Structure 1
Amino acid sequence: MIKVAMTGVYVDDVERAHAFYTEVLGFETRLHVDLGDGALFVTVGAPDGVQPDVQLLLEPGEGPIAEPYRAALYEAGLPCIVFAVDDLFAEYERLRGLGVRFPHPPTVQGPLLAAVLDDTVGNLIQLTQPIP
């Protein structure tokens, strides 16, 4: 069996992304390694032992591959990653209260309730909740 261990998201600034993903979204720091010369290796994941074997790598987003990719996704209004939540309306209200911008508020999309937020470091992120 193959399982997801780590996936990455390109960000404008790894430290700012780390702050947003932990302080605002509620992830926990899994790894925070200074590689020298200002380079960092930072991963976050769901808190409280939820998915302990899955990490999100906050990757520097500059460069000839990452920059056009991120810009194209953002300009097209496409999320770079999708997260699941238990109560989308509660999470939407909590995050809006923290100043998070939602270009797309909660809407029904087939069997899901979905919303898209701006992560402040160059990406759109979709939150989803299955509709019972």
Structure 2
Amino acid sequence: MNTEERIEAYITGQAEPKCNDMQALHHLMLHIMPVGRLWFSDGKNSDGKTISNPSIGYGARTITYEDGKTKEFYQIGISANSTGISVYILGIDDKHYLPQTYGKTLGKASVSSYCIKFKRLNQIDINTLEEAIRYGIETTRDE
């Protein structure tokens, strides 16, 4: 299966209403980043051991490690988890920015330095989520 097929299988494999919410988020991301790179991670490491929930990634950025090595990775990720959905906004240097800027206006969500978790999409303000995602994309765009 190609990436798009793996993403579709992952989304449709979710129980309702999570399936509907994941599909809506996927469409939002494709609208925000119509030409961005798509990623899919099954959550397994090179040994086949599960180390995280599967996730869908959007966009691309370069991570530079302390030893100078680099790795390409996605900017925004979405993942279903046991209690709902997580949206990962990766690469923002200011670890307080997301919770301070969006935490009080997002609705029923938990906001950390890089992750926005919520149970249902209808419990959060989708416009505020989109604003946070757009901020993350712009902030982590490779020049």
> TM-score, normalized by length of structure 2?
0.30
Q: Which structure shows the bigger proportion of residues in strand conformation?
A: 1
After TM superposition, the score normalised by the length of structure 1 is 0.31
The structure where helix makes up a greater share of residues is: 2
Q: Which has the higher contact order (CA 8 A, sep 6+)?
A: 1
